[in-house]
Amino acid sequence: MFTEKALEVIEKAISGQGILASSEKKDNYARVWSRDSMMTGITGILIKNQTIVDGLEKSIKTLSDFQAQNGQIPSNVYGDKVSYGTLVGRTDATIWWIIGACEYIVFSKNEGLKETLKEKIYNAFSCLKTWEFNQRGLLYSPLGGNWADEYVTSGYVLYDNVLRYWALEKASEVYEDEKLKSLAQETKKLIENNFKKNISNVAKYHETAYKKAEEKPYFWASLNANGYDERFDLAGNALAILLGFDLNLQSFSSFLEELSVEFNHWMLPVFYPIIFPKDADWNLLENNYSYDFKNQPYQFHNGGSWPIYLGWLCLGLKKRGYEEIPLKILNQYEQLLSEKGSSFREYYSTDQLIPSGTDQLCFSASGYLLMKVLP
């Protein structure tokens, strides 16, 4: 039942330009967003839904038409109106576009599009290279520079760098490029050596900060010049698990179990711990918004639960042979869809499980479908 409703939400959002974030005309959601359309399109590939895949092709072409001179891909496009980010640029928009384009090329075997997009994909990689700033291999994102655009992570962010690995790996496959393949492996090693405690004697990005950081059962959220943000970033860790990064999954699973006990449900927070007004990081939250302040404790990025990233987590864990937690998450989500309406809202508050944010969101519909996908 919910599968059909999820597909209906997505198909209703497919326009002539591509897949909109939502068919709801609220704020700026009725636009072709790079990250939203690519994730939704990749979900379409995984479930082999041609309607969604066709929407992905339109999204790829629309976004590529507005590629900036430096190779940057827009955050979103609506008609001939284009945005590369408002308060700051969006690092992940360019990366998700590369991933979506390459996944589509592999799936569709569209040789014409492969050649048409080659220069644009390589220009996008060139743009990402400049965003290292220090030529040491990790991508640097400004505050608010990715999907969590009103949150506090910045610097060498786990999520953005894991995505860059995916982009390099997939493009190296599409274009049979050994240099990209080598860069992908180097990126993976950099992440594994710098975002968790390990016994490797390889030099660290920030030796002083690394020594002071506490061991966690997950990859740390980000690294900056002033040290590590040791928070749990569900999105970054979910994608790292999906892509085969080296992490002790038994310890990680135990951590997720502990989180579920603490919150008394399986709609896990996208970032943890929660930031409260008394905390030092609150000042990074309170003015960082475009329309209205959404990041009260347990809400939005500040501990809200996002089905899209729970979907990637479920897919990643299943791919690695861990079936139990994905089933618990799926059952919890289906229970909420039954009790509180199956309109696929943007996120749930993790204190009261209230569905919040934009309605009819492709992100959340895709998250549900990803929870159902067999690895």
Task: Write the pLDDT tens digit of every residue in 75-89.
Answer: 999 999 999 998 899
User: What is the predicted pLDDT for the residue at 290?
Assistant: 82
Q: Share the mean pLDDT of the chain.
A: 96
pLDDT category at 199 given cuts 50, 70, 90 is: confident
Task: Write the pLDDT tens digit of every residue in 318-340.
Answer: 999 999 999 999 999 999 999 98
**Mean pLDDT value across residues 194-211:** 93
User: What is the predicted pLDDT for the residue at 82?
Assistant: 97
In 3D space, the residue among 245, 251, 191 whose CA is nearest the CA of residue 222 turns out to be 191
pLDDT category at 167 given cuts 50, 70, 90 is: very high
How far is CA 283 from its chain centroid? 24
pLDDT category at 305 given cuts 50, 70, 90 is: very high
pTM for this model (two decimals)? 0.98
**Mean pLDDT value across residues 191-204:** 92
3-state secondary structure 11-75: HHCECCCCECCECCCCCCCCCEEHHHHHHHHHHHHHCCCHHHHHHHHHHHHHHHHCCCCCCCCCC
Output DSSP code: residue 292. S
Residue 294 pLDDT > 80, yes or no?
A: yes
**Mean pLDDT value across residues 254-278:** 98
Residue type, 354: I
Residue 342 pLDDT > 90, yes or no?
A: no
User: What is the predicted pLDDT for the residue at 340?
Assistant: 83
Residue type, 221: A
The CA distance from 197 to 211, in Å, is 9
User: What is the predicted pLDDT for the residue at 337?
Assistant: 97
**Mean pLDDT value across residues 217-240:** 98
Residue 31, sorted as left (phi over 0), alpha (psi -120 to 50) or beta, turns out to be beta
